[in-house]
Structure formats: C-alpha cells, structure tokens
A and B are shown apart, each in its own frame.
Chain A
Amino acid sequence: MTTKAARPNIGAIRSSFAPWNDPGTKPLVRFDGVTKRFGDQIAVDNVSLDIYEREFFALLGPSGCGKTTLMRMLAGFETPDAGRIMLGGVDLADTPPHKRPVNMMFQSYALFPHLSVAGNIAFGLKMEGLKKVAITDRVNEMLKLVKLEAYAARMPHQLSGGQRQRVALARAIARKPRVLLLDEPLAALDKKLREETQFELTDLQMELGITFLTVTHDQDEAMVLADRIGVMDQGRIVQIGPPTEVYEAPNSRGVAEFLGDINIFEGIVETFNSPVASLKSADGHFKVVDEDCPAGGATVWLAVRPEKMRISPKAPPKGTANVLAGEIWDIGYLGDWTTYIVEIGPNRLIRVAQANASRIVEHPLSWDDKVWVSFDADAGVVLTR
C-alpha cells in the first residue's frame, strides 16, 4: 500500500495551476530562438520555450534529441550559438555557471567523493560565504527534508543509490535556486524506488515552491512529475502541453508514437460536419468526433490508444460504428493489464489493452480466437501529419 505522507493540501493548487494560459504572466525562464551546434551536428534547433514560476516542466525525448544540451545551456555549461536565454527577464549570456541562480542535480549525481554527506550539502553554502552556524542549520534542515539525518557523516561510497540521489537533491536545493535542473533524476534507481521517488519529488516541489526543469527519456516519469511536458525530437520541440494533452491530443504521429502505444489508421476524410467526421480507410469506415478534423478529401491519420479499444469474442450488433474483425495474434499478460495483438488484415496488427478487472474470466481469450475490436467515436484523435 502507498503510505500517505503529511503534506499541505496541494490538490486544489495543482488542478488550477496553469500560468501558461494567462497572457499576463511573465515567464521565469525564456529560451528565445536558441540554437546549438556541435561541429556540423545541430543539437538544439531554434528552440523557443517559456517556463513559469513554480512550474514543474519536463523535457521529454529520445536520447540525442538535444534535451540535455538545452538544460546545460541554462546551467551555463554550454553556450548557445544563436538565441537568448533569459531568467527573470535578464539575459544570462554573460553570467558564468557559478554565478547563475540555478542548481543542477546531475545524472551521475556527481557527489564529491572526498566529502561527507554533510560536506557535500554544505559545499554550495560555503561558496555563498554563509556563517558557520547558518551553514550547519541549513545542512540539518536539508538532511531532515530528504530523511538522511542519520547519514550526515557517511561518505558517498557508503550510501545506496537511492540515498545518493537524495544527497544530490539536498545539495542542489540547499542554495534555494530559482530553478532546479534535474538531469534524468530517477534513471539510476530501480523501478519500485523510482515510483516512490516520483511522488516524493512532486510533493517536494510543491512544498518548496521552486521551479523544476527535468530532462528525461522516460514518458511515465515525465507524465507523473510534470505540470507541462515539452516533447523534443531532433533538436526541436514538437509539442508543449500538460501530460493529458500531449497524451490524449498529440499534434503529430511522431508525438503520438513516442508517448505510449498507439494504433494508427491512414484514411481520407469523406465528410466533416463539425464535430463529426466520417473517414474511409483500408481497414474500413470510421466515425469520429474531432473538432479539428480537416475538410473532406484530406488525407489524415486516425490514432487510437490501445486502452480505448474494446475486445470481444462476440460480434457487436449490426450497424455499430468503428468495428474491426480479426484474430488474436499474440497476448501479453502484465498482471494488471493484458495486451492483445490482433491481426485485422494481412500483416495489419493492432494493439488492444484491457484492464484485468476480475480475477476469474469464464471464457478467456486465446491465441487465434476470432475477435471483434471496437472503439467509441471520441476514442481517437485525427492527425494531419
């Protein structure tokens, strides 16, 4: 069972937090047409992005998409070839890394091996020139925050992976940065620990009120952590939005396919009377509800998530829309979910995911069974690219 940690009531704050929709809000961080090349390779390609005060923003993309480079430019470890990076309205171009009011949690954690846990956390405070007493107080506060009070005197190599991660976090937030940068913060942890830490991180961020920018290739991580996700591909940001938006309303096939599994049907719009559209594809006719569908004649792609499809051994009544007949090609049982791969035509495989709501199923589906897959008119999204 998940244990309930004491925390302020953050539900109300979280659900109404959307400064990006308010044109009057000034962003805390602004990337303005930022480009970075390494040799003849473009790592970051003309990226513009606003991040707001108290926001938890995730840059999500495959490795080599430029997300880490973008973050390192904010920290000051890389210099943009073009464009500007602003923090609180001030251009950071002439500010060296050690003078920027941002701190980073490194992927390798980069704990100083010659310093104890307390020494690591105190490092940044000493650089600020704080008094000894103030440093001790702040270090103790941080140790308590990450629940490592008993480990203050340990050396980094005497800690477990999860403890090191927490020391790295404490060290980075000890200086109260205006933006905390997290480079693949949970990548080195095992699955169970990663899930716990995800929730701890979001609670911590709400509590501290610091703006977080995280970089990850793990879509689950990005969706759990972030208020908004910026999906990156080949140096460009291809979509920015809250997790539900990028997942349920991707703006391209690329984004749709990168975030989770999806079935894509290529077709032509037959008629469109907003919001209802009728599509014709090689797999049959579809009836879809999507306000943003283009007018008749356009080539489009209908994208439907596996969990929004139903699978049944019985044929639905005649005249039901969006039905595909096929045979079960493969079954993946995951405990909580079962994924069925259904062959709906020669070499046409789709995925259907069903929650295993009941322990006992009287007639479980098996390999090569004849099945009918159906979905609602509002289950899919019409993509134009």
Chain B
Amino acid sequence: MRRGPSVFNRISIGAGLVFLYAPILLLMIYSFNDSRAVNVWAGFSTRWYTALFRDSQLMGALWITLRIGVVSASIATVLGVMAAVALARGGLFRGRTLFSGMVYAPLVMPEVITGLSLLLLFVAVGLDRGFWTVVMAHATFTLCYVAVVVQARLSTFDTALEEAAQDLGCPPWRAFFAVTLPNIIPAVAAGWVLALILSLDDLVIASFTSGPGSTTLPMRIYSAVRLGVSPEINAVSTLLIGAVAVGIAVYGSVSRRRTAPARA
C-alpha cells in the first residue's frame, strides 16, 4: 500500500510554491496586459512583446548579455575544469588546502565585494571597462561553480581508467582528452550551462565592471524600473525567466545523465 503525502505536506508544498512563484506568475500575466497601467487588467495582448523587439536599446542589451554569457561561461569552463583536475588528481601537493579554499571562496563571497574588488583591480591596471571586463569578472565568479560540479564527477571517476590509458601507451595529457574528458563531458556541459545562467542573471558584479556600451540586460531592466515599471519590462523579464528555465532544465537533464551510464 503506497500512501501519498499527508495533508500537512500538501499544504506546506502548496504554500511554498505560491510564496516562490506567485510574484513571477503575476509578472508573466501582466506582460500580456493590453493596458499601459501595470496594475489594471485590460485584456490579452502581445503588444509589449512587439514593442520590445522594436526597442533597440533593450535588444542591444540582450545581445550583449548573451555574448558575455557564452564567452565567460566558456572561459570559466576551461579554467574550472583545470582547477577541478588539479584538486581531484594532483594528489596532496603543497598548498592544496589553500588552493581548494580559494577556488571555493567566491561561492560564499558577497557579490558586492567581488564586484568592488574587481573594479579596483581594473582601475589599478588601467583597463578600460567594457565588454571584456564584464567577461573577465563573470568568468572569475562562475569558475568556482564549474570546478565544484566537475570535481564531484571526478571524485567518483575510477582512476584506473586513466592508468589503463597510460598503460596502453597513452601519455598522461593525451589520456585526459582520450579517456577522462569523454567520460566527464556531461558534468563539464552542466558546468557550462550553470555558468551561463549565472552570467545571464548577474546584476551586481556587472554593474561594477561594465562600462559604456556594455550595459547588460539585468542592468537595463533595473535602471528602467527605477523610472517606473513599464509593461515592456514585464515582457523582457518573462523572456529572461524563460531562458533561465530552459537553461536549468538542460542543466538538470545533463547532470542526471552523468550518473546514468553503468561504470564498466
């Protein structure tokens, strides 16, 4: 006899979901509102989406955000995988604990501090703020997420596979590409998607490190909202939520797949 969740469980799950998602749902509904007034329902319309696609400023910001996301996620993935391999396979090298602490610290570091310190660094070295400074900043703070995901996979990866590759005449660096990488690729892909989502989402660090011509979508939305909430913002937010939701779904499916194949 299988019993479902109790009444208490149902209520608490329901209350939790309402608390988390009612505001988002409201925003999504109002993005289809025909009225300019945000809180008066005047019938279904997609006019704000049409307006949005004609709004070159918002579309420009979206394009910049996507480019920053893809480039920074790719850099973060390469560096994060390298850090994970060093931590999982480097043995007990000198300074390993310090290194592992430093890799994971940005996970709990307040974003304001990360953003501010990066800003100070860019000013100190005389780097003009723009597209590449945001990319660098995002790569830095998303790198640790990639490292966490990949290291978790590497820790359950049979080291005998790498030894077997070497035993069969494969130099160690080549063994990584021939054997290790093909087997951890789902985790690497999951790390990349996670880094992309984090980059698309980020407001604080981007605010500190962006310059003229590199205003990201979250920054554009935030500044627009300060002048009053327009339905257009609701529409762009709905699109952003959709993009992030797709990203999370992809992340979930690839990271589940990484445990699926039986280990031989």
> Is the pairing of A and B real?
yes
Stretch of A104-112, A189-197, A302-310, A348-356 that contacts chain B: A104-112
Is A258's beta carbon under 8 Å from chain B?
Answer: no
Among candidates A96, A103, A159, residue contacting B168 with C-beta atoms closer than 8 Å: A103
Q: Tell me the number of A-to-B contacts counted with CB atoms below 8 Å.
A: 77
Q: Is the CB of B170 within 8 A of A98?
A: yes
The docked-state distance in angstroms from the alpha carbon of A157 to that of B163 is 20
The docked-state distance in angstroms from the alpha carbon of A159 to that of B158 is 18
CB interface residues, A 124-141, toward B, < 8 Å: 124, 127-128
Please give, as numbers and ranges, the residues of chain A lying within 8 Å of B54 by CB-CB distance: none
For A107, the closest partner residue in chain B by CB is B160
Q: Is the CB of B183 within 8 A of A106?
A: no
Is A171's beta carbon under 8 Å from chain B?
Answer: yes
The docked-state distance in angstroms from the alpha carbon of A104 to that of B164 is 7
Is A337's beta carbon under 8 Å from chain B?
Answer: no
Is B161's beta carbon under 8 Å from chain A?
Answer: yes
Known A-B contacts A104-B164, A157-B262; the reply to A112 vs B179 at CB < 8 A is yes
Please give, as numbers and ranges, the residues of chain A lying within 8 Å of B182 by CB-CB distance: 114
Known A-B contacts A111-B264, A157-B262, A157-B264; the reply to A98 vs B171 at CB < 8 A is yes
CB interface residues, A 58-112, toward B, < 8 Å: 75-77, 96-99, 102-104, 106-112
Q: Is the CB of A108 within 8 A of B158?
A: yes
Q: Is the CB of B179 within 8 A of A124?
A: no
Is A113's beta carbon under 8 Å from chain B?
Answer: yes
Is B110's beta carbon under 8 Å from chain A?
Answer: no
Q: Is the interface of B mostly helix, strand, loop or mixed?
A: helix
How many chain A residues sit at the interface, stated as a range, is: 20 to 34
Is B165's beta carbon under 8 Å from chain A?
Answer: yes
Please give, as numbers and ranges, the residues of chain A lying within 8 Å of B169 by CB-CB distance: 98-99, 124, 127-128, 175
Q: Is the CB of A110 within 8 A of B160?
A: yes
Most chain B beta-carbon neighbours within 10 Å: one of A123, A156, A164: A123
Most chain A beta-carbon neighbours within 10 Å: one of B164, B166, B262, B263: B164
Among candidates B165, B172, B261, residue contacting A123 with C-beta atoms closer than 8 Å: B165
Among candidates B160, B171, B179, B263, residue contacting A106 with C-beta atoms closer than 8 Å: B160
CB distance from B164 to the nearest CB of A (A): 4
Q: Is the CB of B163 within 8 A of A171?
A: no
Q: Is the CB of B262 within 8 A of A106?
A: no
The docked-state distance in angstroms from the alpha carbon of A96 to that of B263 is 27
CB distance from A210 to the nearest CB of B (A): 15
**Using an 8 Å CB-CB cutoff, how does the interface string of B247-264 with A read, 1 for contact, 0 for none?**
000000000000001111
For A181, the closest partner residue in chain B by CB is B167
CB distance from B252 to the nearest CB of A (A): 22
CB distance from B184 to the nearest CB of A (A): 10
Q: Can you list 22 residue pairs at the A/B interface with Cβ under 8 Å?
A: A75-B163, A97-B167, A98-B169, A98-B172, A98-B175, A102-B167, A103-B168, A104-B164, A107-B160, A108-B160, A110-B161, A112-B161, A112-B164, A113-B264, A123-B165, A124-B168, A128-B169, A157-B262, A157-B264, A172-B167, A175-B168, A175-B169
Please provide the 4 A-B residue pairs with the shortest distance between their CB atoms, ordered closest to farther.
A156-B264, A124-B168, A127-B169, A157-B262
Chain A residues proximal to chain B, CB less than 8 Å: 75-77, 96-99, 102-104, 106-114, 123-124, 127-128, 155-157, 159, 164, 171-172, 175
